[in-house]
Structure 1
Amino acid sequence: MGNADIRQLAVIEPKPFEELAGSVVAIDAHNWLYRYLTTTVKFTRSEMYTTEAGEEVANLIGVVQGLPKFFEHEITPVFIFDGGVTELKAEEVEERREQREAYQAELEEARESEAEAAEIATLESRTQRLTDTIQETTRDLLELLDVPYIEAPAEGEAQAAHMTRYGDVDYVGSEDYDTLLLGAPRTLRQLTSKGDPECMYFERTLEKHDLTWEELVDVAILMGTDFNDGISGIGPKTAVKLIHEHGDLWGVLDARDEAIPHADRIRAMFLDPDITDDYEYDTDIDPDLDAAKAYVTDEWEIPAEEVERGFERIEESVVQTGLDRWT
């Protein structure tokens, strides 16, 4: 997720949905899916998304509930799925796993003590992870709905930022502030929230603080990222001031007699990430709603009433706007 303190530096403004009609947005799939997954689990009884075999597919409810927001505003999503986990991020992934295990222990204790349903639901949402089944069924459902997706070689947000920088899509869609460090010109945030989203601007952020891209990344490293702990006592304003005074990350570290392990590799993770230009997708969407409904309700045993309204909204969008005219 990156360091949320980056928000204090970023130029972010409201972006009404009516200004986004006709746009193509590269969605950080894991980021988007995890938010809908945890929300679904928190507000839906577990038996609604658990098959007789015991497999949990709350993602299918979340996808059906989340996609209409794009369709209704004539936005074409292109979902970008993560590839392999980078070595430097492995520690963060392990920390998240340990945190989930701690929540799982709390959940089991809450169930044994017959705690309030709201407390149990909250703990269930915190133990969620993107299992192989969730990932596979999400891709299958997107294919049936004719929604394009791409497999990134590594970080999905880096691939999405790259595609936006080269004009293949109009925006990145993510809640992660790291898209700014990855050079995404425009990032739409709060696409999973009520109301209009907001847009985070890369070039305007650089201009506001008189920074280059490299210097912005150095500022973030001093503050702390997914790949490193920051230097104690350095927040956004101090980091910018220090970079202006000393030129770059190494100048600051030398002046303060500090060290950040793997600093050069962390810098490269943002400035030269593992991405690909070998991708293609079709933005003319023609969903097979009958097949998608059957997949969700028959094959994966989701009660029809849990996804009925979501499919209705998708169908209404097809009839009212005609998905192929968006592009």
Structure 2
Amino acid sequence: MGVKIRDLIPETAIKVVELNELRDKAIALDAYNMLYQFLAAIRQPDGTPLMDSNGQITSHLSGLFYRTVNFIESGIKPIYVFDGKPPSLKEKELLNRKKRKEEAEAKYREAVKEARVEEARIYAQMAVRLTDNMVEDGKRLLK
């Protein structure tokens, strides 16, 4: 998180491949990054995430399930990597992100209150928070 691959690897070393070129291969995937993507992208029109009948967020599980099915149907073995605690060097960046999320959350509530649906959706995506329970649910789904 926070490091762009192009900052680490020279442009000439990067090769873009089609999904079908990965058939019969195993690929490593950043699980946290994917869960965040699904939480941000899979939402109702007003910005609220998908939820079960108990009010528990399920957007991340829906995305993880269908992405995994897509890989398997394409003959690709996905290996989800759940990395550990971030290094202390990242603390400042994490604090900045937390502040931006809190600001986005406040703007989301205001947009909802004023029925600005498009803005609400944008701010909801910016305010995404991945909880330990969501991570554990994702791990259980993949087992």
TM-score, with length taken from structure 1 = 0.40
Q: Secondary structure at the match of 1:133?
A: helix
* Equivalent AA in structure 2 for residue 6 of structure 1: D
SS in 1 for 2:57: coil
- 2:106 matched residue in structure 1: 105
Correspondence for 1:58: 59
Write out per-residue CA displacement over residues 47-68 of structure 1, whole angstroms, 9 at most, x where no aligned residue.
742543x432321121122222
Alignment of 1:199-210 (within 5 A): none
1:72-111: per-residue Cα shift (whole Å, max 9, x none)?
2111011110211211111111111111001001001111
Give distance in 2, aligned partners of 1:78 and 1:44.
Answer: 33
SS at 1:26 equivalent: strand
8 A contact 1:42–1:124 mirrored in 2: no
Gaps in structure 1 of 5+ consecutive residues:
144-327
Deviation of the 1:19 alpha carbon: 1.9
The correspondence for 2:40, drawn from 38, 41, 63, is 38
1:60 and 1:138 in contact (8 A); partners too:
yes
* Counterpart in the other structure of 2:31: 29
RMSD of the alignment, in Å? 2.4
What's 1:14 paired with? 16
CA-CA distance at 1:26 after TM superposition: 1.1
Match of 2:122 in 1: 122
Distance 1:9 1:47 in 2: 37
Specify the code of the residue in structure 2 equivalent to 1:19: E
1:83 counterpart residue number: 84
**Aligned match of 1:165:** none
Alpha-carbon distance in structure 1 between the residues aligned to 2:45 and 2:80:
25
Given residue 63 of structure 1, which amino acid in structure 2 is its aligned partner?
L
Could you tell me which residue of structure 2 aligns to residue 262 of structure 1? none
Structure 2 CA distance for partners of 1:71 and 1:4, relative to 1, 3 Å = closer
Structure whose CA Rg is larger: 1
Q: Residue type of the partner of 1:75?
A: I
| CA shift digits 1:115-148 (9 cap, x unpaired) | 1x222112111111211121111111111xxxxx
Mapped partners of 2:10, 2:49: distance in 1: 44
Partner of 1:73: 74
On the 8 A contact 2:111/2:120 being kept in 1, the answer is yes
CA-to-aligned-CA distance 1:138-176 (integer Å, 9 cap, x gap): 111111xxxxxxxxxxxxxxxxxxxxxxxxxxxxxxxxx
Q: Is the 8 A contact 1:28 1:81 kept in 2?
A: yes
How many angstroms apart in 2 are the aligned matches of 1:5 and 1:21?
25
Q: Is the 8 A contact 1:18 1:73 kept in 2?
A: yes
Task: Report the CA distance shift for 1:4/1:103 in structure 2 as closer, same or farther (over 3 A).
Answer: farther
Quote the Cα distance in structure 1 between the aligned partners of 2:38 and 2:142: 15
Q: Which residues in structure 2 correspond to 1:106-255 (within 5 Å)?
A: 106-115=107-116, 117-143=117-143
- Whether the 8 Å CA contact 2:49–2:59 is kept in 1: the answer is no
C-alpha contact (below 8 Å) 2:44/2:50 kept by paired residues? no
Partners of 1:47 and 1:2 in 2: how far apart?
Answer: 27
Query: For 2:114 and 2:46, how far apart are their aligned partners in 1?
Result: 21
What is the letter of the counterpart of residue 70 of structure 1? F
